[in-house]
Structure 1
Amino acid sequence: MEHRHLGRSGLKISEITYGNWLTHGSQVENDAAVACVHAALDAGISTFDTADVYANTVAESVLGEALKGQRRESLEILTKVFGPIGPKGHNDTGLSRKHVLEACEGSLRRLGTDHIDLYQAHRYDYATPLEETMQAFADLVRAGKVGYVGVSEWTAEQLRAGHALAQQLGFQLVSNQPQYSMLWRVIEGEVVPTSRELGISQVVWSPIAQGVLTGKYRPGAEPPAGSRATDTKGGADMIKRFMDDDVLTRVQRLKPIAGDLGLSMAQLAVAWVLQNDNVATAIIGASRPEQVHDNAAAAGTTIPADALARIDEVLGDVVERDPARTLESSPKQREV
């Protein structure tokens, strides 16, 4: 497993991050979740990503239990704040000072740690002044409860404003966590160039496009039993944008490219996002340990230029590139 610097900071994280969205506390049983975390550790993964909103805080608790007994200094634990948690009361969501400080305490308790390596604003909060949010993050950094601060799915303009405030308050904004894959490239036009300028890395989620880029979904066929496309707890909703026969047909045509490189389809997808030098790490999820080992093997892989060109030719116009799609990610009104 190789490691990369996170933004313009001295912190290094593993090229592959294990994430537990839609799995821990929801899609898989706890013993399977623990087995996947241990498989990640065995594969050399040192970075683990979660969020308080995942399974309404349960995912953090499962991850904390799974990491119990590990040397804390050898791990990088990432979590996020924004989404509605607990009983979903009027202050149980957003990026107000009250919610950020209280949510951090809850995450520390559930994760069983005294500090969070990277604390991320899960979305942009239009209902709270950015100055209030960034001051709360600054105070957590000074208190030693948070090492570094990042965001998720922020636009280039929002990144620029957040970065400027962070500098004024004496800390670094080091990362952004966007969706990014061969099929979803909306960050390339604006977010990535701005991030390079500001010294911000991408911590990308869904590099396998919710499993579509494994090739297991075939055009005109029913989804495999137990797959994300059949998950009624949220997985099916997230994957449906890719469940189009044209998309699935083109993905099948990637198999010879992966084969020529000696890679599985999942490895090709993960390695593809890591070719972008602004990407610090690719977050993988898994319901079985063997999936972790397969995905982790993509670390350190270089895809030749001719293969990258073939991928672009095969996928053609099914790739989503519109930068405006990032703006859609943050709700203009809070859920509660």
Structure 2
Amino acid sequence: MQERRVGRSGLRVSRLALGTMTFGEQVDEIEAEEQVTTFLDAGGTMVDTAPIYGSGACEPVLGRILGRLGVRDRIVLTGKAGLGHRDGEVVRDASRKTLLDQLDTSLRDLGTDHLDVWQIHRWDEKAPLDEALGALEHAVRTGRTRYVGISNFYGWQTGLAHAGLAAQDVPLISNQVEYSLLRRDVEREVVPVAEYVGMGLFAWSPLGRGVLTGKYRGGIPSDSRAADAGGWEGFVAPYLTAERTGVVEALAKASDGLDVTMAHAALAWLLTRPQVACAIIGARTTEQLKENLAADEVELPPEIVEALDDVSNPEGWDA
């Protein structure tokens, strides 16, 4: 699998990364181990996780898998902190205490003494930014992470965070953001800021919350996220609008002409975007993962990239 540098840092990652959000909840430990093995066999290196994933079950599962396989030195392990559950609700808490406590818990559960990239999961308006950045700096100084980043920060927030750490001689190398043909609003501010300061982007949900696979073209399958009224329906519904349906149909036409799957075309388009270091892909089955990993071999003709750029122009869309 091809690799890319993360911004102007020296870190290199596979341009398709393995997302583990479903591990321990939707994906059991046996299936999760098959996915990790399949990913590594395909040449993948970056594995992304967080203590909130799998409702807290993900990292213990991933840690046991990495221990059994003995592959910690083969992967770029990226983690996060700052989100948790409280009274049944997801809460943001980027205080120094919570960030460092979650980091220590992650290291214990993952069975490692360091992460390769540690990120603040979301901006927290209730926590002083200097305090949150101080936790990142402390983690680097104490060897608990090699690099630091942020996740889901807007453009101005990214600029502030980068400047704050640069003053402490600690580079902020990445911002993990949602980015796909159906979610391009990051191009307005986040991408220009990242380019200016030399940060890379880790793109999550690169298949538009599953919509870019084409699974919803004929309606909502009963076993899909959009049919899950108790949980995921609201996550997918905003991407089933008329404007986005037009993008999906254009993608289908392009993929048919190129004789590739819609998912492959969508991922290949994303990997042409400036500052994107990798696209994070997750799957419920190993077969789905294998199918998506094959996108690494797809290169889109320039005219197809331009056509998809035009049809997915986000001006006027709701973010």
Equivalent residue for 2:240, pick from 221, 237, 243: 243
Partner of 2:115: 116
How many angstroms apart in 1 are the aligned matches of 2:64 and 2:87?
23
- Kindly indicate whether the alpha-carbon contact (under 8 Å) linking 1:115 and 1:145 is maintained by their aligned counterparts in 2: yes
Kindly report which structure 2 residues correspond to 1:45-84, keeping only aligned pairs within 5 A, or say none. 45-68=44-67, 69-84=69-84
1:61 is displaced (CA, Å) by 1.6
Q: How does 1:18-167 map to 2 (within 5 A)?
A: 18-21=18-21, 23-68=22-67, 69-85=69-85, 93-167=92-166
Residue equivalent to 1:184: 183
Partner secondary structure for residue 204 of structure 1: strand
For 1:231 and 1:107, how far apart are their aligned partners in 2?
A: 29
* Post-superposition offset of 1:29: 2.6
CA distance in 2, matches of 1:196, 1:289: 35
What is aligned with 1:169?
Answer: 168
Which residue does the alignment assign to 1:262?
A: 259
- Per-residue Cα deviation, 1:40-59 (whole angstroms, up to 9, x for no partner): 11221111111111133211
Unaligned runs of 5+ in 2: none
CA contact (8 A) 2:79 2:118 kept: yes
- Structure 2 residue aligned with 1:228: 225
Distance 2:17 2:127 in 1: 30
Relative distance call for 1:284 and 1:120 in structure 2 (3 A) is same
Aligned partners of 2:177 and 2:79: how far apart in 1?
Answer: 14
CA contact (8 A) 2:226 2:233 kept: yes
Deviation at 1:300, TM superposition (A): 5.0
Q: So what's the TM-score if we normalise by structure 1?
A: 0.88
Counterparts of 1:242 and 1:281 in 2: how far apart (Å)?
22
| RMSD between superposed Cα atoms in Å | 2.3
The aligned residue for residue 4 of structure 1 is 4
Q: CA deviation at 1:102?
A: 0.6
Q: Distance in 2 between matches of 1:324 and 1:214?
A: 21
Q: Which deviates the most, 36-45 or 227-236?
A: 227-236
Which residue type is aligned with residue 146 of structure 2? G
**For 1:38-93, what per-residue CA distance to the aligned partner results, in whole angstroms no more than 9, with x for missing partners?**
2211221111111111133211122222222333221111111111247779xx85
**How many Å apart are 1:277 and its aligned residue?**
2.8
* Structure 2 partner of 1:296: 293
Q: Equivalents in 1 of 2:49, 2:103: separation in Å?
A: 13
User: Partner of 1:254: helix, strand, or coil?
Assistant: helix
Alignment of 1:301-312 (within 5 A): 301-312=298-309
Paired-residue identity, %: 36
Q: Which has the larger share of strand?
A: 2
Say whether the 8 Å CA contact 1:218–1:249 is kept in structure 2. no
> In 2, distance between residues paired with 1:277 and 1:264?
23
Q: Partners of 2:316 and 2:158 in 1: how far apart?
A: 18
Give the letter for the 2:167 counterpart. Answer: Q
SS in 1 for 2:235: helix
Distance 1:88 1:218, change over 3 A: closer
SS in 1 for 2:178: coil
Cα distance in 2 for residues equivalent to 1:118 and 1:34? 22
* Distance 1:217-1:311 versus aligned 2 partners, 3 A rule: same
* 1:163/1:245 CA distance change after superposition, 3 Å: closer
Distance of 1:60 and 1:87 partners within structure 2:
21
Give the conservation status (yes or no) of the 8 Å contact 2:79–2:117.
yes
Amino acid in structure 2 at the alignment position of 1:12: R
Distance 1:250-1:4 versus aligned 2 partners, 3 A rule: closer
What is the count of residue pairs matched by the alignment? 318
TM-score normalised by structure 2 residue count: 0.92
Q: In structure 2, what is the equivalent of residue 15 of structure 1? A: 15
